[in-house]
Structure 1
Amino acid sequence: MKNIAKWYKWILLAVIFQFGILLYMNNVFLSTDIDVSVSENSAVRRKPSTGDFKVPAEAQMISTSFNAKFGAYLHDGELHIVDIDKGKSKTVAGTGKDKITYFRWLPDRDMVIYSSDTKNGRNGTVQVSTYEADSETSRDYPELSGLPAKSQVKDIELSPYTNMVYAKIQTSDTRARVIRFNVMGQYARIMTVDSSIIIKECTYTNKLIYQEKGQQINIYDGIKKANSRVPINVNNVTVLGIDLNDTLYIGALDDNGMVTQIYSQKIEDNSDLTDNWAKMNLKETALPENVIVTGNGNLYINKKDENRVINLKNGLKASYRGEFIEILEGVLVSKDENKVNITSLKEY
């Protein structure tokens, strides 16, 4: 019996020792930057500041960073970044031969991703780059060369969690290519499609929603490298957007192309979409471009003729002056002449 007890004692000590080694390997030696993801997630939900900044009358693609700390716009092919609190503007790209044609802010940090449709003045070469407003740091993705002369980036979808970037490059009046960049900066052509294509990327899963005009909605799975159809039993639909929690919103259209219903469903990493959609009937129809999907999952209709937006979930309204720009969490951004106003989203 004493020998058996000794054996059990040594077995127990061995198990404890092995468990300690595994715990060390998991939490110390092989640890990941989990705290970074947590801080990023909380940053997305931080309420933006209010304020204003001035832009030239001909400014294009005006927008603000997720926390409204910085503004950005294009003017004469140049990308300008504005520190809103300090009231200072800086030209960060487009001053040479390569004019900037597209940009957008990342959803969770003060960084823009932008593109030019030339490289050192050479047509048929697209350059995608990023600019970090806080550190004033620029980085380039590998250039895309050998494209048709008039090729131009029309949309960039990205996820800071999967580190995947998808760019829609229009190569002619009717055709476009969808290119994917991975975390290593490597790129690959995913598909060649009609230039009308809409692309929307998930935040937490490597999945891309895409739709050519008048066609069915599809999902490209970046892990499986496979395409599948979105299961929705409505003949005429359009993609409206994806919020930051990976909920997909689809508009059902009438014969005039107006949204009459909104379907929504969360996209999961390890499961496919089903035909079990949440549905919302609109009290009045709206053009798809006037339906706004915010990062936190709120839905609004922009009533341009009334200078106000209506929250589709609770019917509350908010007014703005001039031209509507965007809605962030808790604030509304609009342009009145040459002044961009960031005001509290006061719903009534």
Structure 2
Amino acid sequence: MNNWKKYTLWIIVAVTFQLSTYLYLDRILLAPASSFQTSESDENLVITGKTYYSPNGSYVASVDNTTVKIYALPSKKLVRTINLGTKKVSYFKWLEDRNIALMGLHEDNKDSSKVLLTQINPTRTDEALSTTIEKLPAGSHITDIACSTATNVVYMQVQTVTTPIPLFRVYRIDANYNLQRIYFNTERIGRIGVLFDQDSLIFEDLKKDTILVRHGNGSWRVISPSQGKYRLVGVDGKNNIYIAQLNAQGLAEHLYVGQLGKEFTLNRNFIIPIDPNNLNLADVLSMGK
């Protein structure tokens, strides 16, 4: 019995020694020289204003009436602050394939407005893209931007009239930052989109409830089916064009998908008709998952 007690005692001593050695190695000898955790103030920071998260979750932009602040995530470290001065933000969007954002600003004078499209890199203060359009009708502002990083062509939609009927213009900026206004047979232009690898603008004619394509060479044609009324939902990275067919009340009932040169086919029916303005491509794509 005494031998058994001695044996048990040696086991306890050995285990205690091993645990002590492990704790020493883990918490003292092999502990990092500096902590990689964020500071308590960063972790508890409350980001105010309207927020826009980059697609890969690396950054979040906070936009209010006076500043735009860019924070790195998950640390919430402030990496850029842009003071707006007398300008206001009307549009903000992160590019899908890189941590670059496009921001639309406008500044109102007594009888006119000017709009500014600028590119934001969270880690740099110089702007690779900056385009200004002056002497626009008072109250003009950027409402939509469609671009492809494959073609480096940017289309910018500017609302020039709000009431009684909203009217819009579209401007094209090429890879050399040359700016030109694109003229259509209507100023009631709705949502816009571009093909990924072609300089082709897809847009809505709100007056005729049709979807059209306008190529970089100036040619254009209607691409929506001849029967029915349609709204553009969006264009994905594979050049698939998603359009919604409207019912008599102007609500989206059916979703169609197609490509240039190919017929549109029914993708799904909406159980409950939806306001087409509330449809966006990300939500539509997630419905199929």
TM-score with structure 2 setting the length: 0.74
Query: Which of 193, 203, 215 is the matching residue for 1:200?
Result: 193
Corresponding residue for residue 162 of structure 1: 151
Query: Which of 270, 284, 288 is the matching residue for 2:276?
Result: 288
Corresponding residue for residue 274 of structure 1: 262
- 8 A Cα contact 1:142 1:186, kept in partner: no
- 8 A Cα contact 1:52 1:84, kept in partner: no
- 8 A Cα contact 2:253 2:274, kept in partner: yes
Amino acid at match of 2:244: G
- 8 A Cα contact 2:244 2:252, kept in partner: yes
1:220 correspondence with 2:214 = yes
Amino acid at match of 2:288: K
Q: How far does the alpha carbon of each residue in 1:304-335 deviate from its partner, in whole angstroms, 9 at most, with x for none?
A: xxxxxxx5325xxxxxxxxxxxxxxxxxxxxx
Secondary structure, aligned partner of 1:200: strand
Classify 1:252/1:244 alpha carbon distance in 2 versus 1 (closer, same or farther; 3 Å): same
1:299 correspondence with 2:274 = no
Structure 1 residue ranges, 4+ long, deviating more than 4 angstroms after superposition = 119-123
1:83 correspondence with 2:72 = yes
CA-CA distance at 1:195 after TM superposition: 4.8
1:68 correspondence with 2:57 = yes
Classify 1:122/1:259 alpha carbon distance in 2 versus 1 (closer, same or farther; 3 Å): closer
Corresponding residue for residue 182 of structure 1: 174
Give, in whole Å, the separation in 2 of the partners of 1:52 and 1:281.
44
Amino acid at match of 2:151: T
Gaps of 5+ in 2: 1-42
Q: C-alpha root-mean-square deviation of aligned residues, in Å? A: 2.8
Give, in whole Å, the separation in 1 of the partners of 2:110 and 2:58.
33
User: Where do 1:56-135 residues align within 5 Å?
Assistant: 56=48, 59-60=49-50, 62-90=51-79, 92-118=81-107, 123-135=112-124
Secondary structure, aligned partner of 2:220: strand
Classify 1:121/1:103 alpha carbon distance in 2 versus 1 (closer, same or farther; 3 Å): farther
Classify 1:90/1:191 alpha carbon distance in 2 versus 1 (closer, same or farther; 3 Å): farther
Give, in whole Å, the separation in 2 of the partners of 1:249 and 1:227.
18
Amino acid at match of 2:168: A
Count of residues in Structure 1 that have an aligned counterpart in Structure 2: 242
Secondary structure, aligned partner of 1:205: coil
Corresponding residue for residue 313 of structure 1: 288
- 8 A Cα contact 1:265 1:277, kept in partner: yes
- 8 A Cα contact 1:178 1:189, kept in partner: yes
Secondary structure, aligned partner of 1:197: strand
Q: How far does the alpha carbon of each residue in 1:114-161 deviate from its partner, in whole angstroms, 9 at most, with x for none?
A: 122139999522221111113444234242122223221111111111
- 8 A Cα contact 2:80 2:123, kept in partner: no
Gaps of 5+ in 1: 1-50, 268-272, 301-310, 315-348
CA-CA distance at 1:290 after TM superposition: 3.9
- 8 A Cα contact 2:242 2:258, kept in partner: yes
Q: How far does the alpha carbon of each residue in 1:266-315 deviate from its partner, in whole angstroms, 9 at most, with x for none?
A: 34xxxxx3335343223343332443423xxx725xxxxxxxxxx5325x
TM-score with structure 1 setting the length: 0.62
Which of these two proteins has the greater Rg computed from alpha carbons?
A: 2
Query: Which of 209, 233, 242 is the matching residue for 2:235?
Result: 242
Corresponding residue for residue 161 of structure 2: 172
- 8 A Cα contact 2:104 2:116, kept in partner: yes
Amino acid at match of 1:226: S
